Amino acid sequence: MAVLRREDTSDCFVMPGKMVLPVQYFAGRAGSQFIISLRDERKILGVKCPQCKKVYVPPREYCEKDFTKLDENWVEVGNQGVVANFTVVHYNDKHLPLKAPYILALIKLDGADTPIAHIVSGIDPEKVSIGLRVEAVFADKTTNTILDIDHFAPIVD
Amino acid sequence: MGKKNRNVAIVGIGQTEYSSHKEYQNQPEMINEAVRAALKDANLTLDDIDCVVHGNMELFECVHQPDLWHVLGTGAFGKPQFRITTGGTTGATIVCAADNLVASGMYDVVMAIGFEKLQEAGSTTAGITNMADALWYRHLQTGALTSAEANLTIDEFGAERARRAAIKHRIMMDKNATINPRAHRRFGLEYEQAEDLMKTSPPLVGELRLIHMCSQSDGACVMIFAAEEKAKAISSKPVWVRDHIAVHKEEMVANNYAYERPETSHHTAARKLFARNGITDPVEYFDVFEMYDPSTWWGMDWIREFLLLEGDAHIRMVENGDLNIDGKLPLNPSGGVTSSNPIGATAMARVAEAALQLRGDAGPHQIKKEVRHGLASGFGGTMWTVLVMLEKDLDWQEVN
Ligand SMILES: [Zn+2]
Task: Considering only the beta carbons, identify the residue of A19, A87, A114 that sits closest to B205.
Answer: A87
Stretch among A10-24, A63-77, B78-92, B361-375 having the lowest mean pLDDT: A10-24
Question: A–B: how many Cβ contacts below 8 A?
Answer: 103
Higher per-residue confidence, A28 vs B84: B84
Chain B within 8 Å of A24 (Cβ-Cβ)?
no
**Shortest distance, CA A26 to any CA of chain B (angstroms):** 8
SS3 sequence, chain B? CCCCCCCEEEEEEEECCCECCCCCCCHHHHHHHHHHHHHHHHCCCHHHCCEEEEECCCCCCCCCCHHHHCHHHHCCCCCCEEECCCHHHHHHHHHHHHHHHHHCCCCCEEEEEEEEECCCCCCHHHHHHCCCCCCCCHHHCCCCCCCHHHHHHHHHHCHHHHHHHHHHHHHHHHHHHHCCCCCCCCCCCCHHHHHHHHHHCCEEECCEEHHHECCCCEEEEEEEEEEHHHHHHHCCCCEEEEEEEEEECHHHHHHCCCCCCCCCHHHHHHHHHHHHCCCCCHHHHCCEEECCCCEHHHHHHHHHHHCCCCCCHHHHHHHHCCCCCCCCCCECCCCHHHHCCCHHHHHHHHHHHHHHHHHCCCCCCCCCCCCCEEEEEEEECCCEEEEEEEECCCCCCCCC
**Shortest distance, CA A104 to any CA of chain B (angstroms):** 7
pLDDT on residue A19 = 76
Q: How many CB atoms are located within 10 Å of the residue B397 CB?
A: 6
A residues 106..125 contacting B (CB < 8 A) = 106, 113-119
- The alpha carbon of B134 and the centre of ligand 1 are apart by a number of angstroms equal to 23
**Shortest distance, CA A29 to any CA of chain B (angstroms):** 13
- The answer regarding whether domain B8-124+216-228 maps to CATH 3.40.50.10420 reads no
Give the pLDDT confidence of B12-65 residue by residue, as tens digits: 999 999 999 898 899 999 999 999 999 999 999 999 999 999 999 888 888 889
- The alpha carbon of B88 and the centre of ligand 1 are apart by a number of angstroms equal to 32
* Partners of residue A31 in chain B, C-beta under 8 Å: 135-136
| Radius of gyration, alpha carbons of chain B | 20
Q: Please check the confidence at residue B389 and state whether its pLDDT lies above 90.
A: yes
pLDDT on residue A66 = 86
- The alpha carbon of B251 and the centre of ligand 1 are apart by a number of angstroms equal to 15
DSSP for chain A, written as a single string: -PPPP----TT----------------HHHHHHHHHHHHHH--EEEEE-TTT--EESS--SB-TTT--B-TT-EEEEPSEEEEEEEEEE-S--TTSSSPSSEEEEEEEETT-SS-EEEEE-SS-TTT--TT-EEEEEE-SS--SSGGGEEEEEEPP-
pLDDT tens, N- to C-terminus, chain A (157 residues): 455 667 888 999 988 888 777 778 888 899 999 999 999 999 999 999 999 999 999 998 988 788 899 988 999 999 999 999 899 999 998 878 899 999 999 999 999 999 999 999 999 999 999 999 999 999 999 999 999 999 999 998 7
All residues at 6 or more sequence positions from B55 whose CB lies less than 8 Å from its CB, including other chains: B83, B84, B85, B86, B90, B91, B93, B94, B113, B114, B344
Taking residues B133-146, what's their average pLDDT?
77
pLDDT on residue B249 = 83
CB contact under 8 A, B255 and A90: no
pLDDT on residue B137 = 77
Per-residue confidence at B259, pLDDT binned at 50, 70, 90?
Answer: low
Chain B within 8 Å of A153 (Cβ-Cβ)?
no
* Pair B247, B384: CB distance under 8 Å: yes
Minimum Cα–Cα distance from B119: chain A residue: A14
* Partners of residue B204 in chain A, C-beta under 8 Å: 89-91
- The alpha carbon of A46 and the centre of ligand 1 are apart by a number of angstroms equal to 13
Read off the pTM. Answer: 0.90
pLDDT on residue B257 = 46
pLDDT on residue B131 = 72
Mean confidence (pLDDT) of chain B: 93
* Partners of residue A29 in chain B, C-beta under 8 Å: none
pLDDT on residue B258 = 47
* Partners of residue A145 in chain B, C-beta under 8 Å: 135, 139
How much of chain B, in percent, has pLDDT values that exceed 90?
A: 80
ipTM over 0.85: no
Instruction: Give the residue extent of every domain in chain B.
Output: 8-124+216-228
- The alpha carbon of A68 and the centre of ligand 1 are apart by a number of angstroms equal to 6
CB contact under 8 A, B123 and A6: no
pLDDT on residue B1 = 40
Q: Please check the confidence at residue B399 and state whether its pLDDT lies above 90.
A: no
* Partners of residue B205 in chain A, C-beta under 8 Å: 87-91
Task: Considering only the beta carbons, identify the residue of B151, B205, B256 that sits closest to A90.
Answer: B205
Give the pLDDT confidence of B154-166 residue by residue, as tens digits: 999 999 999 999 9
**Shortest distance, CA A97 to any CA of chain B (angstroms):** 7
* Pair B284, B313: CB distance under 8 Å: no
* Partners of residue B122 in chain A, C-beta under 8 Å: 19
* Partners of residue A151 in chain B, C-beta under 8 Å: none
The answer, yes or no, to whether the previous bond of A125 is cis (omega within 30 of 0) is no
Higher per-residue confidence, A22 vs B304: B304
* Integer CA distances (angstroms), A144 to A35, A114, B190, in order: 6, 21, 52
Largest Cα separation within chain B, whole Å, is: 59
Minimum Cα–Cα distance from B136: chain A residue: A146
What is the rounded distance in angstroms from the CA atom of residue B106 to the CA atom of residue B103? Answer: 8
